[in-house]
Amino acid sequence: MSHADRQQRTIDAVIFDLDGVVTRTARLHAAAWKRLFDDYLAQRAAQRGEPFQPFDADEDYRRFVDGKPRYEGVRSFLESRGIELPWGAPGDPPDRETVCGLGNAKNALFQELLAQGGVEVFDGAVGFIRALKENGREVALVSSSKNTAAVLASAGLADLFEVRVDGVEAARLGLRGKPHPDTFLEAARRLGVEPARAAVVEDAIAGVAAGRAGNFGLVIGVVRSGDGTGLRAGGADLVVGNLTELGDGTALRARPRLDAAALPNALDRAAEIRARLDGKRPAVFLDYDGTLTPIVDRPELAVLSEDMRAIVRGLAERCPVAIVSGRDRADVERLVGLDGLVYAGSHGFDIAGPGGLRKEHERAAAFLPALDRAEERLRREVAGIDGALVERKKFAIAVHYRLVADDQVARVESAVAAIAAEITDLRRTAAKKVFALRPRVDWDKGRAVLWLLTALGLDREDVLPLYLGDDDTDEDAFAALKGRGLGILVTEADHPTAADYLLANTEEVGRFLGELVAILGDPTR
């Protein structure tokens, strides 16, 4: 398809977020979150004799809870305050001090407010949706809210959308929340429309990032206050204040997505990157395989060169550096062999660093029996397939097929698929000549990087996070940092990506990091 053709692609379907786009329940949500967290934080502060710092219904709401599934919102905000609570269970009563307990309390408060105040509707949005339908476009609704049906009914819009993927559906299907694209992709699938021919309409940064991560043809940001900079940086192709600005929607066209080959090489844009660093200090996140070492035939042969080790050491003397890998943490720590760095293994489920920094995802240990069972089955099932390698990490299992004959790869794939279908606590992912089984938890390299920024006190305006990675699992980190840091993809292939820059190979990674060391200068001065 030519560039011109891609420019001309029409939009056949539009998928809408609910809160803040179609209805104004964001205010009710923000008020419920504020009542919940203020009560909780005040109580906690009194118990500990600490000062009470209330929940900011604008800033905290936007940064930590807006657009996220309820329990993820609780966890994300508490994390920002350095509070770690047990996850608990969805049936926890509202007075139980767990993530689920607090989430349930927020929901009760929200329903109270819903009953008191009703729901405000954005008339422009409803008019736009009706015009789209009249013009033969498909529409769907995606919302993280488990109250979607109640909100639509209260707004008198129960019949507006035939296709809805809400929080209840997402939980039932095990779909990851925004900024992951899963719920939007499910809506597109139900509409029978390719994402490239569909638009996503969102008012939250996590939502526009999900649209970009899903490679939707057009991502429209709706800005209800402010200037839309955050939405644009998060991945919106265009930002409107009111959906009436889009007329009847028939003129909407898909925007060409950035393919890796269209990205500028980070080495060629040194001046631009230096300017982004002006007045800021970097925090550097590095993937291991394919980024610091070239891809080789077997995992144990991916040895770090002394040159690269010296560059990473030099960088760690000048700024925070974390290695974020799919490998087992102990394995990647041994391979890198440097002190003073943070190491995140098992795709971020297992983190350790200087000063006693330690985090095993709070739900990960519960998956160990499932991982043990899957490992045992996998070892048995691929034992007869020449070249297949099973690599166990603490919280994931990889099944490598780089050395498997082409006509045998399908056998490896179906063994992994069969086990994943049976052991539903695990989800199957794929990367470079490897299938993986990981805990079915909304956690990945992107979430780990965001957690690290907060835990290390780096979630600040004067810190520029840089993430370098080469693989699909690194796309989660690129998406998480979109608009907030720099994503640098290491590849010579062409595929859609959420990264901002490109480096061709590990040799270019070494040069880029070496230049960063030089920019940062003498660490003793």
Ligand X SMILES: O=P(O)(O)OC[C@H]1O[C@H](O[C@H]2O[C@H](CO)[C@@H](O)[C@H](O)[C@H]2O)[C@H](O)[C@@H](O)[C@@H]1O
Site of interaction with ligand X (CB under 6 A): 287-290, 295-299, 302, 325-327, 391, 398, 400, 402, 431-434, 471, 473
Q: Which of 5, 12, 19, 339 is catalytic?
A: 19
Contacts 24+ apart (CB under 8 A), 453-456: 453/283, 454/79, 454/80, 454/82, 455/79, 455/82, 455/357, 455/359, 456/283, 456/320, 456/342, 456/353, 456/357
227 is catalytic: no
56 is catalytic: no
**Smallest separation (angstroms) from ligand X to the CB of 287:** 4
Residues facing 238 on adjacent strands: 220
Residue 179 preceded by cis peptide, ω within 30: yes
**Smallest separation (angstroms) from ligand X to the CB of 416:** 14
Instruction: Single out the residue of 352, 348, 361 nearest to residue 446, CA to CA.
Output: 348
Instruction: Single out the residue of 299, 321, 302, 301 nearest to residue 312, CA to CA.
Output: 321
**Smallest separation (angstroms) from ligand X to the CB of 331:** 8
**Cα–Cα dist 209/482, whole Å:** 7
**Cα–Cα dist 15/198, whole Å:** 7
**Cα–Cα dist 227/238, whole Å:** 12
Q: Which of 17, 66, 287, 476 is catalytic?
A: 17
Nearer to ligand X, 152 or 302 (CB): 302
**Cα–Cα dist 442/223, whole Å:** 27
Nearer to ligand X, 83 or 403 (CB): 403
**Smallest separation (angstroms) from ligand X to the CB of 469:** 7
Say if CB 284 and CB 466 are below 8 A apart. yes
* Burial category of 405 from C-beta neighbours within 10 Å (exposed 0-12, middle 13-18, buried 19 and up): exposed
**Smallest separation (angstroms) from ligand X to the CB of 332:** 6
Nearer to ligand X, 268 or 472 (CB): 472
**Cα–Cα dist 336/306, whole Å:** 10
Stated as kind and residue range, the H or E segment containing 117 is helix 99-117
**Smallest separation (angstroms) from ligand X to the CB of 481:** 16
Active site residues: 17, 19
